[in-house]
Amino acid sequence: MKYSVADDDKKLINGCLSGFEEAWEALISKHQRLIYTICKRYHLDDDEAGDIFGRVSMVLLQHLKSIKDHSRLPAWLITTTSRECWQYHKNLRTVSLTPDENNYEIAYMLEPATELALPEEELLSLEQRHQVRDAFKQLPKRNQKLLWYLFFDDKNLSYNQIAAELNMPVSSIGPTRGRSLEKLRQLME
């Protein structure tokens, strides 16, 4: 069976539980950006974030069978990653520091955990952005490009320019946008 990051979490988790390595690779790849984003919010560098990513992946593997609501996997990952980051910072405080010119960076990393914890609203926002991105990837490429040009592209192209880029009539942009947004909404349900 083929698995990809475009598959829903339920299919990927069931594939993992059935022993398909490709399902595990797709599941981890699908959620890698979410995990790293949380690590960055805890001010971890790339190596530290990589360590946390590895830990979260191991915890996920150990608890995969116990995740009952597969649609809540992003929330589970956000919580687990936040806990791992918090634990990492807590462990840093037990390390004896030797004075050097980099202690100002270490002091920044040792802020109290309460200041580092992500507020619930921000966790929900991260989860929603993750859901939108996953649904967006499932749209046909033409719809993705249209929505990208309309809502995300920094060039602020006119409808005429977008029509030329996508090789479509200008009069089709509005209706195609409407259908694309409706399909995106349906994918997120």
Q: What amino acid is encoded at 189 in this protein?
A: E
pLDDT mean across residues, the chain: 81
| Enclosing domain of residue 189 | 139-189
Q: Is residue 133 part of a domain?
A: no
Flag whether 105 is in a domain.
yes
Q: Is the pTM of this model over 0.75?
A: no
Cβ–Cβ under 8 Å, residues 12 and 23: yes
Q: Is the domain of 158 the same as that of 66?
A: no
Judge whether residue 120 has pLDDT over 80.
no
Answer yes or no: do 96 and 158 share one domain. no
Q: How far apart are CA 180 and CA 166, in angstroms?
A: 14
Q: Hey, how many other C-beta atoms are within 10 angstroms of the C-beta on 32?
A: 14
Q: Does residue 163 belong to any structural domain of this protein?
A: yes
**Single residue among 61, 84, 117 that ends a domain in this structure:** 117
Residues 13 and 100 in one domain: yes
Check residue 27 and give its pLDDT.
Answer: 95
CA-only gyration radius of the chain, Å? 21
Which tokens hold the place of 130?
Answer: 């993750």
| CATH code assigned at 170 | 1.10.10
- pLDDT tens digit sequence for 90-102: 776 544 333 333 4
Number of domains in the chain: 2
Per-residue pLDDT of 21-61, as tens digits, reads 999 999 999 999 999 988 988 888 899 999 999 999 999 99
Burial 136-145 (b: 16+ CB within 10 A, else e): bebbeeebeb
The pair phi, psi for residue 156, each rounded to 5°, is: 50, 55
